[in-house]
Structure 1
Amino acid sequence: MHFKGNIKETLSHLLEQEDTDGDKKITVEDQGPKQFDIALYGDDNAFAKAYTIKGTYHLSNFLQELALERALSKIEAVIPLWKIEEQPTSRINRMIRDYFWDDLTRTIDKKGLANILTDTKAGDSVQRMYVPGTDQEGIAYYNNLKTGFPNLEVVVLPLEITPEYVKSINEKPGILALGLEGKNGIPFVVPGGRFNEMYGWDSYFEGVGLLLDNRVDLAKAMIDNFCYQITHYGKILNANRSYYLTRTQPPYLSSFIREIFEKDPTLGKEWLASVLAIAIQEYETVWMRAPRYTDNGLNRYYAQGVGVPPETEEGHFDEYLAVVAKKEGCSIEELVSNYQNGSLDLPELDRYFTHDRSLRESGHDTSWRLDDVCADLNTVDLNSLLYKYEIDFEYLIATYFAGNFKGKKSRYYKESALARKERMDTFMWDEDKSQYFDYNCVTKQKTEFESASNYFPLWAGLLDNDKAMKTVRRLMIDLKEKGGLAGTSRAMNTIIPEGAVQRQWDYPNGWAPHQMMIWRGLKAYGFDKELQELVYRWLWMITRNAVDYNGVIPEKYDVVSATHKVFAEYGNVGTEFDYITTSGFGWMNASCQLGLSLLNPKLRAALDNLEDPEKVFN
């Protein structure tokens, strides 16, 4: 059976009755009667029976389906009853697979350029397209587009991109070119909401979801764009905006390559060889050289740049700048002006902004774990990721290239991984606290800051079985909350400066990449009980919020209160929409798909019934 009726009239009636706060959504906060009468028709389109849609969830499903029908320029909607009554986990899974990935897909070409050039990050009325000087095909392509884009300015980047050059264009922001296939841009998936650029580590996690949904085409395209960035910009960029040219992000390319090739070997060894060579180039030139490679043989994030990072919101640095300005006997405005024009030499500010840029390079922007210290830290997360690179290189070369790839031996990468593990054990492992900690290579001390990033070694396969058991026990004590894993522990919340602002990557907030990596680590080491509980808690929180708030799947959650109502620092992308969210948020979508693929049938049934995790696991 199905509903059949005029979309405009039905929407108007439904919203007038049920959307009492006027936000074009139906949520638990609305005060309507929570029921709506419709007529159902059979397969022969003959009237079958009257039907009452009851409850916030089913009413919001009906609203969303009406919105989808309207988006197809229909006058009359035909909506199967099963879509109105769909189980929550099935609906979330289907919406992500059938709608969200496509809505998050962008291309930088004639078809897709208009949206990107005119978004809120574009700056002034000039629409700038920065193209590498090494990409002659791209230069010709974008110059040919000028006739269709009257405000388009194509800027060819110099062959050597220095921090000073990047500072000189900070007042002229623009998008950075990505790969082309003939007259079409190679597609990529954006995080969501206000984002129209391809982000570094977001893309890997989105790729995990894409592969689960059999979107090999999009996953491969993102790897190809990563390889374009390494080839023409020298690194995988934080994102393809002009002010990110001196900054990379956490390295996941080897994992991305390995997972997609194992999903679809028909991509061929020629493709594998080309992307593997570029991944090795990134490893050697970005990570295994100073300043990101330190004297102790471990690595750190170290983003280069000059001046104040331009992409932050106005006033973001005022608390720190006020202290420096007071020392200098001037206002914040005078301090920034003199510092930016070079008339004031302040090594203290140079160091502070190096730490800030490096913190953003880490992807954890922002966290008290890294505040004003990031560039001095050999972090657990980065060194775990590079250990995984070395293990992946060993595996790919041994498995597909008989142990020798363009003169590079699989044995070399195995030895590199073992050496890194020994250094991490020496400098980072804390036996008493059963976890790895970031190591300050300047003070020569572990930080002892309890963070979800301390558990990346589980994902990387770096732990022996004894350490793994101790680490997992510690994980479930320090970070487990009602809605999953917090970014940092409750205890760390007590040592931050009194009255300090809430950092979005810290307690009580939780993030999709942390959950996904730790789940995969638990699965690899055989900790199924802990895996099922943590997956359930995270998915319960997402599902509960989606059911109560019109299908919302935003960027981040407070895992302690199990709510999406988080507005620390940059707000919560993905909460602002009318009628229906058509995109969710990239790595949140992926965490849903991965979690549902891991959850056992009994717990999935409990999840559809929204059974409280404290009752399920106590």
Structure 2
Amino acid sequence: MRFAKPPFGRLLLVALAASSLAARAPDQTPADLYGPLFEAVQSQRIFPDGKTFVDAVPRLPVDRIMADYAASPPADAAALKAFVEARFVIPGDTPAPDTPAVPQGLDLKAHIAALWPILTRPAFTPEPGSSALAMPAPYVVPGGRFREIYYWDSYFTMLGLKADGQQALIESMLENFETLIANHGHIPNGARTYYLSRSQPPFFALMVELSERTDPASRRTQVEAMKREHAFWMKGAACVTASAPCQHVVRMPDGSLLNRYWDARETPRDESWAEDVATAASAPDRAPREVYRELRSGAESGWDFSSRWLDDPQDLATIHVTDIVPVDLNSLMWSLETRIAAHCRELAERACIREFDRRADDRRRAVHRYLWSARERRFGDWDQRTGRMTEAVSAAGLYPLFVGLATPNQARGAAQSTQETLVAPGGLRTTVVSTGQQWDSPNGWAPLQWVAVAGLDRYGHRETADTITARWLATVDRVYRETAKMLEKYDIEDQRPGGGGEYPLQDGFGWTNGVTRALLDRSPNALQDARRPVS
């Protein structure tokens, strides 16, 4: 499925169109709209996946549904389910309509190409009462329960679209993200009202690097969107103190400013309401709202969930994301600042160049001071409570290499420690701890493989990058030949489907397709080499 390249106007036209769309897309979440009905549906688990109800589309006005509920509350779970099914269109994990099935027996590259039409959705305006956000242009979804566009997933999906010549689809996805920024001041976790209180790792500036829109008008649109995203992450700078972070901003001991993950709400996540209530109930010494904020902030990180965020790696209720200054987030923020400055150079905007060069220089010094351990030869996260780096060894430590923030000596040390601790039989480990959380061992994830390979390549550590590439492709290829599926995550110790987390393993799958396709272009002979046994 290919789309004609969409027209792009000046930022004012984008913002006006976005305002029109926003007027039809109120920011109330399903929990806000349906109150006691929502809590009954989620607490009684009338659908196995908590995301099902929050993605449902009402057949009747919200007020009418709530009046019916108040007048005759369902007596039990069966009656409640019947009540909901009569008044809502319940979503299923189905491909795009009128899309032919993927032919059987394709090689991996051809299978990925055949998946793009199945995962592509047209522009749309949501029905009244829906949690979906308007999308003015076509886009790609991850697959399965993930029925909407997601923020950081999309960068890695775009890598595969680029390799398969789907440039028009890359541009249309960028148009959607520009519209989300114009509407909401940031790109939410995903295109749902219940995701608006948080973002995800800020990859928008790196997406812009994949665009072929380089005319001055497009550059201005892009740089204004990047500036607005930067302002969202730095809004807390106005209220941060040496002893108290504010929103996404943390003041370090030397006075410099870095960022953390932070969700604006302190309620259970709409899509995981029952799970969050249960987690908070298992922590009687913590206020529930504190736990809810931490769980939400963990979701903003994309690593939901991981021992990176836990005091006790075996107990999710000890989560404390907002205490952590993460190396991945701050690397991406540095990348955002350097790219804003670069775009401003193209546009000869001197004040902008000076401001964002200074911001990037300040952040680089702070990252090198607080998020690098020469003794351990690794980048890592910093804990505000202890005033030092955490003990968590994770693939996030390769982000400074990925964006070019590391020095050559730091990159050399990080490459050596990666080879020693994170390279597994089937790819790159997420962490070295096994907890049952999905962002821990034994799972490996496509985006982290790309971050590692691209970062190691950037600094000339080709051999380690080649090893990760070959082993990851071996895992994906082996599982594909056994299941005919591309999966969200993989067990890279035993080279089989991954597990853990709050929901069943999903297939589709956007970022796995994108990274695998890009790695096949990076190393054209890697798939053949990957099929050789690993010693």
Amino acid in the other structure paired with 1:533: T
Once the 2 structures are TM-superposed, how far is the Cα of residue 612 of structure 1 from its aligned partner? 1.4
Once the 2 structures are TM-superposed, how far is the Cα of residue 271 of structure 1 from its aligned partner? 1.5
Q: Which residue of 2 aligns with 1:291?
A: 247
Deviations 1:443-462, CA, capped at 9 Å, x for gaps: 32221211111111110111
Checking the alignment, whether the CA contact within 8 Å between 1:532 and 1:598 is kept in structure 2 is no
Checking the alignment, whether the CA contact within 8 Å between 2:121 and 2:140 is kept in structure 1 is yes
Once the 2 structures are TM-superposed, how far is the Cα of residue 554 of structure 1 from its aligned partner? 0.8
Q: Which residue of 1 aligns with 2:16?
A: none
Q: Which residue of 2 aligns with 1:401?
A: 347
- The within-5 A match list for 1:119-268 is 129=126, 152=127, 154=128, 174-178=131-135, 180=136, 186-260=137-211, 264-265=212-213, 268=215
2:281 to 295, 318, 321: 321
State the percentage of identical aligned residues: 27
With over 3 angstroms needed to count, the CA separation of the structure-2 counterparts of 1:352 and 1:316, relative to structure 1, is closer
Checking the alignment, whether the CA contact within 8 Å between 1:376 and 1:440 is kept in structure 2 is yes
Once the 2 structures are TM-superposed, how far is the Cα of residue 318 of structure 1 from its aligned partner? 2.1
Distance 1:96 1:288 in 2: 40
Distance 2:437 2:227 in 1: 34
Give yes or no for the alignment of 1:95 onto 2:29.
Answer: no
With over 3 angstroms needed to count, the CA separation of the structure-2 counterparts of 1:430 and 1:107, relative to structure 1, is same
Amino acid in the other structure paired with 1:446: M
Deviations 1:250-274, CA, capped at 9 Å, x for gaps: 10111111222xxx25x52211211
Give the match's secondary structure for 1:238: coil
Amino acid in the other structure paired with 2:492: V
Q: Which residue of 2 aligns with 1:531?
A: 465
Amino acid in the other structure paired with 2:131: G
Distance 2:99 2:258 in 1: 52
Q: Which has the higher strand share?
A: 1
Distance 1:411 1:540 in 2: 46
Distance 2:275 2:359 in 1: 44
Structure with max Cα Rg: 1
Checking the alignment, whether the CA contact within 8 Å between 1:212 and 1:594 is kept in structure 2 is yes
Give yes or no for the alignment of 1:596 onto 2:520.
Answer: yes
Distance 1:71 1:389 in 2: 37
Q: Which residue of 2 aligns with 1:563?
A: 496
Once the 2 structures are TM-superposed, how far is the Cα of residue 313 of structure 1 from its aligned partner? 6.2
With over 3 angstroms needed to count, the CA separation of the structure-2 counterparts of 1:350 and 1:447, relative to structure 1, is same
Q: Which residue of 2 aligns with 1:612?
A: 533
Distance 1:367 1:567 in 2: 11
Q: Specify every segment of 5 or more residues in structure 1 that has no aligned partner in the other structure, as ranges.
A: 1-69, 74-78, 114-128, 130-151, 156-172, 181-185, 328-346, 494-500, 575-583
1:503 to 408, 429, 437: 437
1:378 to 299, 302, 325: 325
Once the 2 structures are TM-superposed, how far is the Cα of residue 548 of structure 1 from its aligned partner? 2.1
Aligned length: 416
Once the 2 structures are TM-superposed, how far is the Cα of residue 242 of structure 1 from its aligned partner? 1.8
Give the match's secondary structure for 1:294: strand
Give the match's secondary structure for 2:306: coil
- Two-structure CA RMSD over aligned residues (Å): 2.2
Distance 2:343 2:120 in 1: 29
Distance 2:188 2:528 in 1: 41
Q: Which residue of 2 aligns with 1:424?
A: 367
Q: Which residue of 1 aligns with 2:382?
A: 439
Distance 2:305 2:494 in 1: 21
Give the match's secondary structure for 2:496: coil
Deviations 1:111-134, CA, capped at 9 Å, x for gaps: xx7xxxxxxxxxxxxxxx4xxxxx
Distance 2:132 2:335 in 1: 31
Give the match's secondary structure for 2:452: helix
Give the match's secondary structure for 1:278: helix
Structure 1 outlier segments of 4+, above 4 Å: 70-73
Checking the alignment, whether the CA contact within 8 Å between 1:486 and 1:507 is kept in structure 2 is yes
Q: Which residue of 1 aligns with 2:305?
A: 366
Once the 2 structures are TM-superposed, how far is the Cα of residue 319 of structure 1 from its aligned partner? 4.7
Q: Which residue of 1 aligns with 2:264?
A: 304
Q: Specify every segment of 5 or more residues in structure 2 that has no aligned partner in the other structure, as ranges.
A: 1-97, 237-245, 311-318
Q: Which residue of 1 aligns with 2:287?
A: 348
Distance 1:196 1:443 in 2: 40
Deviations 1:118-171, CA, capped at 9 Å, x for gaps: xxxxxxxxxxx4xxxxxxxxxxxxxxxxxxxxxx4x25xxxxxxxxxxxxxxxx
Give yes or no for the alignment of 1:392 onto 2:339.
Answer: yes
Give the match's secondary structure for 1:174: coil
Give the match's secondary structure for 1:357: helix
Distance 2:421 2:217 in 1: 46
Checking the alignment, whether the CA contact within 8 Å between 1:224 and 1:275 is kept in structure 2 is no
Deviations 1:439-481, CA, capped at 9 Å, x for gaps: 1224322212111111111101111111110010001111110
With over 3 angstroms needed to count, the CA separation of the structure-2 counterparts of 1:604 and 1:423, relative to structure 1, is same
Q: Which residue of 1 aligns with 2:121?
A: 106
TM superposition score normalised by structure 1: 0.64
Deviations 1:70-116, CA, capped at 9 Å, x for gaps: 9769xxxxx9xxx95x6xxxx2112212x21111111342xxx7xxx
Checking the alignment, whether the CA contact within 8 Å between 2:328 and 2:396 is kept in structure 1 is yes
TM superposition score normalised by structure 2: 0.74
Amino acid in the other structure paired with 1:174: S
- The within-5 A match list for 1:32-111 is 91-97=107-113, 99-109=114-124
